[in-house]
Amino acid sequence: MAGRLVSHRTVAGEDLVKVALKYHLGVDHLAFANGFPITTLEVEPDTPVFIPSWRILPAHPPKNGFVINLAERLLYLFKNGRFVGYYPISIGDESAEKGRFQTPTGNYSIIEKIKNPTWYPPSWAKDRRPVGPGPNNPLGERWIGLSLPRTGVHGTNDPLNIGNSVTHGCMRTHPALLRELYDQVGVGYVARIEYETAKLGRGPDGALYIANYPDVYKKSPSVAAAQRLLKRVGLTPARDNFSELLKLELGVPIKVKGTGSVFSEWANEE
């Protein structure tokens, strides 16, 4: 596990987009953790916002590369065997017909890096004319191409949707964060894409923590996935409130103590 849970109090002129960017998260992450409607952007000054920046790392990470958990809408970067940081992403549209644009899972690699790329519209685009670098380019300023055909991690000219499921298969992140990520990865790095609606990790205190995320692609209901993970390590929660808490799909690590005893830990820090 890495990071910490903090409480942020908004100031005048600060919306959830600015708060999310400050903590390397998407607006959706804040919405899930705080019970806000997904469409919430504006909040009153002095509003307390819980920041779910304490995350459960992926299992068996690569020495050099990244792991994307689509259900979590996060990319985890590793270099020289160490965790470097995470980045919020938008993923493939879950509402498209027969999952046409859902981002696929699998083991891939980075095959190219391009600054100021030109976008060549694919077959689904109404206008097939190429779009050169500039504010109208949907790829933004950087492109990290994967061995998965016509798929990569890139910037965007519409940062408001970072953390949502709105793309045609690629993964977008905020332009400023993408520039940071771009400089830290290289051709040949591993790019693993997973779909984990529940994750189990061990905290620095030695205790087990579990977090679950909305089943955006309707492939793995998160409550059942969480219960399977707990059963795998010999825990069978019996208390009703455990399942009720999981049903909220907060995306926040929940501490598991003994059999069926759970509670959330929020650090009261600005």
* 176 and 109 assigned to the same domain: yes
β-bridge mates for residue 109, sequence order: 190
Which segments of the chain have a pLDDT < 70? 95-99, 236-240, 257-270
Cβ–Cβ under 8 Å, residues 155 and 141: yes
Position 133 in a domain: yes
Query: Which of 166, 190, 214 corresponds to the end of one domain?
Result: 190
Query: How many residues are there in the chain?
Result: 270
Number of domains in the chain: 2
| Residues 169 and 258 both lie in one domain | no
Q: Are residues 167 and 113 in the same domain?
A: yes
Helix (H, G, I), strand (E, B) or coil at 241: helix
Q: Specify the pLDDT at position 68.
A: 98
What is the pLDDT at residue 150?
A: 86
Note the pLDDT of residue 270: 41
User: How far is it, in rounded angstroms, from Cα 267 to Cα 8?
Assistant: 10
Specify the pTM: 0.90
Residues 176 and 128 placed together within one structural domain of the fold: yes
- Residue 236: per-residue pLDDT: 65
Q: Are strands 254-257 and 91-92 parallel, antiparallel or unpaired?
A: unpaired
What's the confidence (pLDDT) of residue 212? 96
Residue 250 resides in a domain: yes
The DSSP code for 73 is T
Give CA–CA dist 109/162, Å, rounded: 23
Cα 176 from Cα 165, distance rounded (Å)? 20
CA atoms within 13 A on the CB side of 175: 14
62 in a domain, yes or no?
A: no
Is 73 a member of any domain?
no
Q: Is residue 11 part of a domain?
A: no
Range of the domain at 215: 198-264
Q: Tell me, what's the pLDDT at 3?
A: 92
Residue 205 confidence (pLDDT): 85
Res 98: pLDDT:
52
Co-location of 211 and 239 in the same domain: yes
Residue 123 and residue 218 share a domain? no
The two structure tokens encoding residue 19: 């708060």
Q: Residue 7: inside a domain, yes or no?
A: no
The predicted pLDDT at position 97 comes to 58
Residue 218 lies in a domain: yes
Looking up residue 165, the CATH number of its domain turns out to be: 2.40.440.10
